[in-house]
Amino acid sequence: MQLPLMIFMLEVFFDLGFVRIERGLISAEPQPEKHALESAPSYQQRLAKIEMEKQLVYSTFAELKNWLKTIS
């Protein structure tokens, strides 16, 4: 498994309280509350990044120009 993907997964689990980090060690929470993975802030940030990358890669010049006007 790629390191960036592993780090992302751990961030999601940490956001949701599935794991804890103490003195540099990661431990599983014995009885974490159930949460949808999609509800984690780090998951939402990654989705937004992927969506922006799609916009940048697959848009025409005119679409990009209009998009940049709306975000500035």
Whether the per-residue pLDDT at 72 is higher than 90: the answer is no
pTM: 0.77
pLDDT of 1 > 80? The answer is no
pLDDT digits (tens, 9 = 90+) for 21-62: 999 899 999 999 999 999 999 999 999 999 989 988 999 999
Q: What is the pLDDT of residue 71?
A: 81
Asked if 17 and 29 touch (Cβ cutoff 8 Å), the reply is yes
